[in-house]
Amino acid sequence: MTPVTSAAETAPRTYAWEIRADGLKVRVGRSRMAVDGLGLSLGTGAHGLLGPNGAGKTTLIRTLATVLRPTKGELEILGTSVRRTADHRALRRRIGYLPQDFGYYKRFTVREFVEYMAWLKEVPKADIPEAVQRAVERVGLADRADHRMKTLSGGMVRRAGIAQAIVNSPEVLLLDEPTAGLDPAQRLRFRELLHELGRDTCVIVSTHLVEDVAAACSDVLLFADGRLVFQGTPDELAAAGGPEHPGDSPLERGYSALLRDSGRQGGAW
């Protein structure tokens, strides 16, 4: 996989990959290694991160977002080592992050919430109104932009969260369970948005929904017990399983087969 450089960039990149990990370990608590010896290189495109509960997906996403620090190993994001905490502020301006749960002032309107997040990400003041409008439109909330957050449905709140994640036009976009609470029509629109974003952004989507990954991502990562046990295309994931494996689709059967081979039983559905 060759990283694609966005035509919109005015300065050449000096790094080969948007994300590169070598022997990455991240400990959660006093003893549990939630990410254990990860080696990974990711470029531009939409990458789906699958795995059962407790596999380490959220820990990995939080580490990529510079919320957690690596315990051992190396991690570079956009050519910058995350070991240097002094670089985190500048790096976060170039990252978009949607956690599983995010806080907001309930009296904020959608526009005010996304504006506030743009300000925190140090988007230039003159650019904020246009950036906010564009982000709100891309998630289908233009007609709700001046409604208070507390009046929104759960799915709309999630879409507002996606809007804040993309308001700074990030080079790396990290989405942890972004389709939680979305109805089927909203999930289809989200898949289209992922296709658009993946053209010039390194997007990592952590989800339990195998179908969303297959429809929106060209690259699939399967995590189990803190380790990467598979990386390939959706077709390669489907080919890993057979009729003897649990699942309602070839993708789910491939998922089950790979988890069985890794020594992890069960599944994400």
135 located within any domain? yes
76 located within any domain? no
Q: What is the pLDDT along the chain (269 residues), one digit of tens a residue?
A: 333 333 334 344 556 689 999 999 999 988 789 999 999 999 999 999 999 988 999 999 999 999 999 999 999 999 999 988 888 999 999 999 999 989 899 999 999 999 999 999 999 999 999 999 999 999 999 999 999 999 999 999 999 999 999 999 999 999 999 988 888 888 899 999 998 999 999 999 998 888 888 888 999 999 999 999 999 999 999 999 999 999 999 999 999 999 998 875 544 33
Range of the structural domain that residue 111 is part of: 98-169
15 located within any domain? no
Model-level pTM? 0.89
158 located within any domain? yes
129 located within any domain? yes
Overall number of domains in the chain? 1
Beta bridge partners of 221: 49, 231
4 located within any domain? no
Count CB neighbours of 245 within 10 A. 18
Sheet holding 227-232, edge to edge: 95-98, 172-176, 202-206, 45-50, 219-224, 227-232
216 located within any domain? no
112 located within any domain? yes
* Euclidean distance between CA atoms 131 and 15, whole angstroms: 27
- Cα 259 to chain centroid distance, Å, stands at 21
Query: Contact, 106 vs 148, CB < 8 A?
Result: yes
- Cα 188 to chain centroid distance, Å, stands at 17
With vertex at residue 223, the alpha carbon angle to CA 20 and CA 61, rounded to the nearest 5 degrees, is 55
